[in-house]
Amino acid sequence: MTMSALALMPRRTVLSSEEAPARGASLPHLAGASLPPSVRTAGALALLLLAVAVTGLILVAFAVAMPVLLLLAAVSGRLPRRAARPGWRPAPA
C-alpha cells in the first residue's frame, strides 16, 4: 500500500481498560442479561419443560390419531388390498 492509500483509511481508536465498556453492558441484546443467575436458570428450565411437554403432546396426538384414521379407512373400505396389485400372487407354500 502506498502512503496515500494509508492516509485515506479510517483510524481506529484503541480504548484503554478504563474506557472500555463493562462486559455485561457490551451485550445488551441478550435476554435476561440483567437478571440474577437463579432466575435465568429457572427460566431456562421452564422453557425446556415446555418444549418437552409440547413434544409429548404431539407424539400422543399421533399415537391416538393414526390408529383411529386407519380404523376409519378400514371401515370405509379405502385400505388397499394386497391382492389388488396387478401381477401379485401369494408365495408358494
Residue 21 lies in a domain: no
pTM above 0.75, yes or no: no
Residue 56 lies in a domain: yes
Residue 40 burial (CB count, 10 A)? 15
Collapsing DSSP to helix, strand or coil, 64 comes out as helix
Residue 58 lies in a domain: yes
Residue 54 lies in a domain: yes
Torsion of CA 49, 54, 60, 64, to 10 degrees: 160
Residue 41 lies in a domain: yes
Residue 51 lies in a domain: yes
Residue 27 lies in a domain: no
Number of structural domains (the chain) is 1
Per-residue pLDDT of the chain (93 residues; tens, 9 = 90+): 566 666 676 666 665 555 555 555 555 566 677 888 899 899 999 999 999 999 999 999 999 998 998 888 888 877 666 555 677 777 887
What residues make up the domain containing 70?
A: 36-78
